[in-house]
Amino acid sequence: MTDPAIETLLAEERRYPPPEEFSEQANAKADIYDIPFEEFWEREGRERVTWFEPFSSLLEWELPYAKWYLGGKINVAYNCLDRHVEAGLGERVAYYFEGEPVGERAPITYSQLLEEVVKSANGLKALGVGKGTPVGIYMGMGPGLPVAMLACARLGAPHTVVFGGFSAEALADRLNDMRCEILLTQDEGWRRGQTVPLKKNADEALESCPGVRKVVVGQRTRAEVPMTKGRDISWSELVEGQSSDAASCPCEPMDSEDLLYLLYTSGTTAKPKGIAHTTAGYLVGAATTHHYVFDLKPDTDVFWCAADIGWVTGHSYIVYGPLCNGATSVLYEGTPDFPDKDRWWDIVERYGVTILYTAPTAIRAHMKWGPEHAEQHDLSSLRLLGTVGEPINPEAWIWYREHIGADRLPVVDTWWQTETGMIMLTPLPGVTTAKPGAATKPFPGVEAAVVDDRGQEVGPGGGGYLVLKRPWPAMTRGIFGDDERFRATYWERFPGMYFAGDGARVDEDGDFWLLGRVDDVMNVSGHRISTIEVESALVDHPSVAEAAVCGRADSLTGQAIVAFVTLKGSEEASVEMLDVLRNHVAVKIGPIAKPANIVFTPELPKTRSGKIMRRLLRDVAEERPLGDTTTLADPTVVAEIADRAVAQPAEE
Ligand code: PRX
């Protein structure tokens, strides 16, 4: 065996086989893994979606570009709305919309959603939007956002959704890169009791977007916002007098490979990449994974993906996957702690949520606040829990299962990316024995491996680079307008394989454990140590809610580990605690991983989607000026951490 590219130190022995009652009723049984890859995607392509014209060939693969379901004609909005209403399911709730201001609730059925989409699509048509017109969407988490996306899909107009928390500058970059002609936005949004000035930001952005000729402004808070004559029109004006009859605005028959949307991943330093997703493969991938991974029973489940639609998680598992499957979802506008820290659990109880999908960062926030908030509510409707977005520390996984999942629900840790479009590594809840911290197995039809620097597969237990070895339907069709960057970023490091940029290891059972971004790996005395393992060892201590580690230069060991630690609610930071935590890491995973410094901090710097920004922590640890902080959720956090870090001596 070759030297592992990343060492693995943490041994997690806990195992959770699926409960028998769950397995018996599960959508996926163990034999799903036996279906040959092409047969699997052929079947899903034929059965899970409705075609205007069936596809004639499954796959064309010319690395790095795949084409799926060629020759077919299909429309995403038709699959998400019309066909359900035609099948008599119009009265089913598509979204339970819960506004952030307490008491603002509005269930919206499939029929109502279809009517809204048709009216808006007719209005957009009147503005000259048609097949191929690029449309930007900059809205908050209300029903208007899926309506906007689906109206575009109905007309065949590709969209890019820009997260409502992004600045004017970020919005302008994206609108210009995609050459958007139309912007759909709203007056303001709500966030933690404050308003977010969406239209104001949009106006600022549009000063440098000459290509945008019309702006449609939805009304959420009904604040007075300036309207530019000739350019801006309110949503109510847009839809006034427009027919809501589906026949008045037939769904554009799209080729399978027509562009559905771009979603920009905010590169931490470089220009954002417009990740392209096309129509049929993306829809089949999102809907198929949604059906099997979340075991969706559309007539009884209430599904809640608590992400923002501005991220790919929301595209695939709030909008396209669930609606294609005829699911009932919760759509929540606000933050988990407004007005109180039990807001989520109130929502679960109120709507009888059965499946909850969230991120480790949210779970760790709830851990920090304490389980008493969940305990005030009846969570017995829940039957399945999921996570996505970062490696999950085993203790956070266990906390989630125990305090939210009554210590009995399956937890699915799903690994994927904006670029993959759909869940790629995941347990199947009725089949897989779960392990806290492991994303376990490739989804049926997906082939993944862990390789070393030379692209050779690393044996069981060894850490290395996660790669994907064959195409999948929802895979990105490239970076918009930048073929070279697409090849260089994902396809050149290991010829013939997609390089995800993540470290991982495979254990003796063939289960995958994610080790974080490879750029974050630390090198201590020649040992390549992943951040997640040291962080998980820290979070394993009962006083710790959250931890982030990074390497700083050290003359003796190459790099030394610096840990940033957030303690649980009532715990006090102290010199004794420093020693306790250092020793805890030494016992848990070995003295080599003992942090040289520990900095206690009430918050960690995170991106707006909740990922810890270790790059900035490295700047702090190295006492360098801070790099780009514009993608931080709260830029003040890092300055405070820097002050604390300076005050903290290193271990001898
Ligand atoms: O590093 C991995 C991490 O999130 C990255 C993808 O981020 P993004 O494109 O924003 O999409 C997030 C939602 C799909 C991955 O390269 N990541 C995502 N899920 C997991 C994860 N890391 C470990 N375990 C996961 N379950």
User: What atom of ligand 1 comes closest to residue 514's alpha carbon?
Assistant: 23
Pocket test for ligand 1, best of 317, 318, 415, 606 (most atoms within 8 A of CB): 415
Query: Over 70: is that where the pLDDT of 226 sits?
Result: yes
Residue nearest to atom 18 of ligand 1 (CA): 389
Q: What value does the mean pLDDT of the chain take?
A: 94
Query: Over 60: is that where the pLDDT of 651 sits?
Result: no
490 pocket-lining for ligand 1 (C-beta < 6 Å): no
The pLDDT value given to residue 649: 52
The pLDDT value given to residue 652: 40
User: Cα(606) to centroid of ligand 1, in Å?
Assistant: 14
- In the structure encoding, which two tokens stand for residue 457, read together? 């597969």
Q: Which CATH fold topology does 521-647 show?
A: GMP Synthetase; Chain A, domain 3 (3.30.300)
With bands split at pLDDT 50, 70 and 90, how would you rate the model's confidence at 225? very high
Q: Where do the domains of the chain lie? A: 521-647
**Nearest in space to 516 (alpha carbons), one of 501, 507, 503:** 503
The pLDDT value given to residue 569: 82
415 pocket-lining for ligand 1 (C-beta < 6 Å): yes
308 pocket-lining for ligand 1 (C-beta < 6 Å): no
User: Cα(500) to centroid of ligand 1, in Å?
Assistant: 10
| Bridge partners, 275 (sequence order) | 263, 479
The pLDDT value given to residue 648: 56
| Bridge partners, 217 (sequence order) | 185, 234
The rounded percent of the chain whose pLDDT value lies above 70 is 97
What would the 3-class secondary structure string for 312-380 be?
HHHHHHHHHHHHHCCCEEEEECCCCCCCCCCHHHHHHHHHCCCEEEECHHHHHHHHHHCCHHHHCCCCC
242 pocket-lining for ligand 1 (C-beta < 6 Å): no
The pLDDT value given to residue 387: 98
CA 579, CA 549: separation in Å to the nearest integer?
A: 16
User: Cα(601) to centroid of ligand 1, in Å?
Assistant: 25
User: What atom of ligand 1 comes closest to residue 517's alpha carbon?
Assistant: 1
Pocket test for ligand 1, best of 275, 411, 412, 416 (most atoms within 8 A of CB): 416
User: Cα(514) to centroid of ligand 1, in Å?
Assistant: 9
User: What atom of ligand 1 comes closest to residue 307's alpha carbon?
Assistant: 13
439 pocket-lining for ligand 1 (C-beta < 6 Å): yes
User: What atom of ligand 1 comes closest to residue 439's alpha carbon?
Assistant: 26
Give the relative orientation of helices 144-155 and 110-126 as an angle to the nearest 10 degrees.
Answer: 60
480 pocket-lining for ligand 1 (C-beta < 6 Å): no
594 pocket-lining for ligand 1 (C-beta < 6 Å): no
Pocket test for ligand 1, best of 388, 432, 466, 611 (most atoms within 8 A of CB): 388
Amino acid at the residue 124: L
pLDDT, tens only, 402-427: 999 999 999 999 999 999 999 999 99
Contact indicator for 646, 552 with CB cutoff of 8 Å: no
DSSP 3-state assignment of 278? strand
pLDDT, tens only, 276-317: 999 999 999 999 999 999 999 999 999 999 999 999 999 999
User: Cα(502) to centroid of ligand 1, in Å?
Assistant: 9
What would the 3-class secondary structure string for 282-310 be?
HHHHHHHHHHHHCCCCCCCCEEEECCCCC
| DSSP class per residue in 152-189 | HHHHT--EEE--TTS-HHHHHHHHHHHT-SEEEEES-E
pLDDT, tens only, 61-97: 999 999 999 999 999 999 999 999 999 999 999 999 9
pLDDT, tens only, 8-36: 777 899 999 999 999 999 999 999 999 99
Query: Over 90: is that where the pLDDT of 625 sits?
Result: no
pLDDT, tens only, 103-136: 999 999 999 999 999 999 999 999 999 999 999 9
pLDDT, tens only, 591-616: 899 999 999 998 898 988 889 999 88
Residue nearest to atom 7 of ligand 1 (CA): 417
